[in-house]
Chain A
Amino acid sequence: MGKEMKRRILMGNEAIGRGLVESGCTLVSSYPGTPASEILESVVAFAGETEAPVHIEWSVNEKVAYEVALGHSYTGKRSAVAMKQVGLNVASDPFMRSAYLGVTGGLVVVVADDPGPHSSQTEQDSRFFAQFARIPVFDPSDPAEAKGMVGRAFELSERYEIPVMLRPTTRVCHARQGVSCQTPQTLSREAHFKKDPGRWVATPQFLTDLHRRLNDKIDEIACLKEMYPVRITGDGSAAHCIVSSGVACANTYEILEDMGLLEKVDLFKVDLPYPLNRNFIGAINADYEKILVIEETSPTIEMQMANRAIKGRTSKDVPDYGELTPEVIGKVLETFLNVPGKAEEDVQEVKGVRPSLCAGCPHRAAFYGISTTFPEGIFPSDIGCYTLGMNLGGVDICHCMGACISQGAGLYHAYAADGPDYPTIVVTIGDSTFFHAGIPGLINAVFTGARFIIVILDNSTTAMTGNQPTPQVGLLADGSPGNVVYIPDLVRASGVKFLKECDPYDLESFTVLLKDAGRFCRSDEGGVAVIIAKHPCMMDREAQKDQRCYRVTVTEACTGCRVCIKRFECPALIFDEESKKVFVDQNGCVGCCVCEAVCPVGAIAVQKTGGEE
């Protein structure tokens, strides 16, 4: 490692990004997704700051990102790929096979899990996935440790020519800590791909051997002394022992400290949950009568311990779902150690404000247009800010990236088989999601003769995760220009015969287009109709400057019917309990004036105040 520089406050994701740059990694690819998004952004920042030569890309999806990183590693150079846990589902195809074939230059796969979940569609445990693939996995408990584990993961990866996973959870990704930084390592490796068809092509005849060798690697790693879990409390003679990893381990430690039991309980911290150290398994099972395993989110360590007497997620001594917050672990420990709790009253969860689309968000206008034009319609949608359209009656289904288009086709075939009187199906998908996984679904829907409307919500960004650029924006991760790929070109090339574009702020035109599209779907020559609803995200400050801005107020005519609140839910429209009328919060309102059309009595008044005109 290079010379030590001073400590800096880094977010977990930044610490990981820093670790990647310091390790001499020369390619990092990713697709944005909470809680992993800031990893790549910090690689951009740190590579820039230290002038480290790193190819950094927002790939179109996680499968692509994984394969790009894999190809890079085949040349002997270090590479990394970062994603959220459900991203690994998308990348699972190359991921599974890469365990067999292995790598040349180190490959670190950062997969951020989201127990809780706070911002995801599942609570899946990627350590479990790693075990399924037979890929070693590190489980950091704080940002500084996560950074250190990046280096350890590269070493392990190169020593055994195997991809290695680093699995932080939301609480590590979004924690901040003082982390010491070094100058990046320069490895000066030249690209050199050594042809070896038996390995890199690996037809089935080679695979049994590769599988055997993979098993041997895992067996060896499972016996590495340096991966033997460390006891961080107790003196090794306690009757009780706890085995834990990640943030759950950090929480367990603090609660034991709070209970004054640091000396009385043996707590083992696992850095590498898979493969769990074999000697450790033997020793723990032999030495302790009462063992508790605390880990997130699946019983990965627990199952490898293969001891039916263990208390944990399987025995339900630890809840077998949800995040292991300090409150949850506190209760678990009190029961396991038979220590009565400090009469901690069960605090009722008070519900906070639910999230909603920003004031002036173009999606709100689009959803309002869709749900009013087709009151009987069915509305599959997708993953992004626009999932919040469910509050507006504009989203009936949301499954996984890109699913809305294929699900729309499935719904159509079901209804169409029952007769011509099928409901209009309108699916909504964001621009970034369309690039990610929408295109195959579109080709399939066109090809198989489905008839429904696709509204592509094009706000020229990946808004939900912090506004990363899409291929249509044409900017690379570091802000330099790339080759632009246009959504309309892709739509036309997929065989779509109805393609229109419109700004959803213009509700009138948008509604006309929706009706046209609906008629097209049902016409003799009909099929899939696509409308691109184009308007920049409100977070794009530059675009906002060009936007016309109106002064919008609610007049005395307001009857307090709350239609605008229930059907439109703009955070700038506020119901005043005293006057029983709605008013516009001028600090929040962006003056889009779309709400004007929503009020049934015309109480929302619009006055022009400059901007473009």
Chain B
Amino acid sequence: MKQQIIISGNGGQGILFVTRLLAEAGLEMGLDVLTSETHGMAMRGGTVISHVKVGAFRSPLIRRGRADTGLFLSDSNVAIHGAFVKPYGRRIVNTDRTGEYEGIDAAACAAQLGSLLATNLVLLGYAVLRKALFCDEAVMRAVIKKASRPRQVDLNLRGFEKGLQL
């Protein structure tokens, strides 16, 4: 099993948390995992990207055009980081529009749950539903329970389940 995933969005959208969840899911499944993330200056609301590589890799970075799947926390990021995804790769996008990708209004779903903070988890759930990720829902559910802060577990799980039901 080898899979390369990018997660793109803006600082504050919970990109790092999704990165961690995917890494923990890989570990849970006994796979090698390497990820790369953005910290520091760029996180003050600027555009950020994370790379997740599952399987036998050495470098934490994904080369342009090699990612199997891209998770985009907003549609404007497709123009910025879309080129990382293979021509026939999967682009899972939080959007209220339609485009040449698998779009879903994750923000609206999160708002229904009472917090936009769950947008990332809704999108993650949707990506699992669409089989765009290496892991299944059971693994991810377990990882969310383990990795979430106690006060956030409930919201995170509800966000994830919401994404799974779309």
Contact = CB atoms under 8 A, between A and B. Distances in A.
Interface of A: 7-9, 34-35, 37, 118-119, 141-142, 171-172, 174-178, 247, 250-251, 253-255, 258, 325-327, 330, 344, 347, 350-358, 385, 387-388, 464-465, 571, 587
Nearest to A249: B58
A247 B47 contact: no
Nearest to B47: A352
20 contacts: A9-B20, A9-B24, A9-B33, A118-B40, A119-B40, A142-B34, A142-B59, A176-B20, A176-B60, A254-B63, A325-B61, A326-B62, A327-B63, A330-B63, A351-B80, A353-B10, A355-B42, A388-B44, A465-B40, A571-B45
Nearest to A354: B46
A174 B47 contact: no
Given A9-B33, A250-B59, 5 more contacts: A119-B42, A175-B34, A178-B33, A347-B83, A465-B40
B34 A9 contact: no
Nearest to A10: B23
Interface in B23-45: 23-24, 26-27, 32-45
B19 interface: yes
B60 A175 contact: yes
Nearest to B26: A178
B134 to A, nearest CB: 14
B11 interface: yes
Contact of A358 (B20, B24, B45): B45
A191 to B, nearest CB: 36
B39 A344 contact: no
B131 interface: no
Contact of A355 (B45, B57, B65): B45
A142 B33 CA distance: 11
A7 B60 CA distance: 18
Contact of A350 (B36, B60, B62, B79): B79
Contacts of B47: 352-353
Given A171-B61, A254-B58, A176 B37 contact: yes
B41 A175 contact: no
Nearest to B117: A587
Contact of A35 (B40, B62, B63, B65): B40
B79 A174 contact: no
A490 to B, nearest CB: 28
B59 A254 contact: yes
Contacts of B39: 34-35, 37, 119, 174
B129 interface: no
A389 to B, nearest CB: 12
A311 B95 CA distance: 47
B155 interface: no
B34 A326 contact: no
A385 B44 CA distance: 8
Contacts of A571: 45
B80 A352 contact: yes
A34 B40 contact: yes
A464 B44 CA distance: 9
Contacts of B19: 176
B164 interface: no
Contact of A356 (B27, B33, B45, B80): B45
Contacts of B65: 344, 347
A355 B11 contact: yes
